[in-house]
Structure 1
Amino acid sequence: MYYVNHEQIDLRLNFLPVVVSALRELERKESGFTMLDHFAQERALHLAIEAVTDVGSYMIDAFIMRDPSSYEDILSILQDEKVYTDEVYHTLTALVKLRRPLVQEFFEWERVGKHELLKELPDALEDFADSVRSYLEKEKA
């Protein structure tokens, strides 16, 4: 193990509750989504993607894990290292697959209703943060 950038990892993990709160608020919305709701949903999903992949990259660098070939591979590497559960892995993989459509193909993004990840993503993000913290604590020893 080399240097674990706890400061940068903590900044991102400590921001996840803000994203989780926004996602839960959007998920609770009963009536149809306005354009502003769609944009808020897209931004919350994008922030979640960036936080998860940033944390993953910092961990891969710190623990000298193999180099990832894609954003999805960042999650695969952490899964191989047993950082989190299979359930979290599958939810986060579905999330990260949205990066390209959200960032590069945003003009084609279908803005119809709530995204299917709104239901499961908040819990997965909380589990991700807890799992990362547990892994870092365990690896200190």
Structure 2
Amino acid sequence: MYYVNREQIERRITALDDVYEALEQVASNWDGSLFSGMVQERALHLAIECVTDIGSYLIDGFIMRDASSYDDIIEIIRGEQVMDEEIAVRLLELVKLRRPLVQDYYDWPRHELHPLTMIMPEVLRGFARQVSEYLNRELG
């Protein structure tokens, strides 16, 4: 029997709503300002944290193999068919931004619109939908 913390997964899925709304607004109103850059930076960082938190809850709850990195979280849930290949590829690109955003933040190009900012809202919506479908399929 699995113990999947659906409440915590749902809380993070709900948080993704704000994240992809912020990313959409940044992309559509991009002006290269420090403010836009900082909003983009924080939204991408929160996207990474939400996705990897959800992945970790799924890994723990369904007793999947232990993850050794952020990339590995995505690889494990991809292997368990939580999401389709297209979303997994984009999420791998996203989690690779964690180090530049969190550790090398002083070098982050804040005056440039990052290419993932424009496509991530759709990816995150798809991820949230597919996680919900996976939970319903596995747990009812």
TM class by smaller structure? over 0.9
Structure 2 gaps of 5+ residues are: none
TM-score, reference length from structure 1 = 0.96
Cα distance in 1 between the residues matched to 2:133 and 2:33:
39
Deviation by residue 1:99-134 (Cα, 9 ceiling, x = unmatched): 011001101112232101012110000000000000
Cα distance in 2 between the residues matched to 1:111 and 1:42:
7
Letter in 2 for 1:44: A
Q: For residue 134 of structure 1, what is the aligned residue in structure 2?
A: 133
Deviation at 1:46, TM superposition (A): 0.3
- Structure 1 stretches (4+) deviating beyond 4 angstroms? none
Cα distance in 2 between the residues matched to 1:129 and 1:114:
24
Letter in 1 for 2:5: N
Is structure 2 residue 52 aligned with structure 1 residue 70? no
Cα distance in 2 between the residues matched to 1:74 and 1:91:
13
Letter in 2 for 1:61: D
Q: For residue 15 of structure 1, what is the aligned residue in structure 2?
A: 15
Structure 1 gaps of 5+ residues are: none
Count residues with an aligned counterpart: 140
Deviation at 1:91, TM superposition (A): 0.7
Cα distance in 2 between the residues matched to 1:25 and 1:102:
20
Deviation at 1:2, TM superposition (A): 2.3
Question: What is the root-mean-square deviation in Å for CA atoms of aligned residues?
Answer: 1.0
Cα distance in 2 between the residues matched to 1:21 and 1:110:
21
Deviation by residue 1:33-84 (Cα, 9 ceiling, x = unmatched): 1101101000000000000000000000000100011000000001001111
Q: For residue 2 of structure 1, what is the aligned residue in structure 2?
A: 2
Q: For residue 87 of structure 1, what is the aligned residue in structure 2?
A: 86
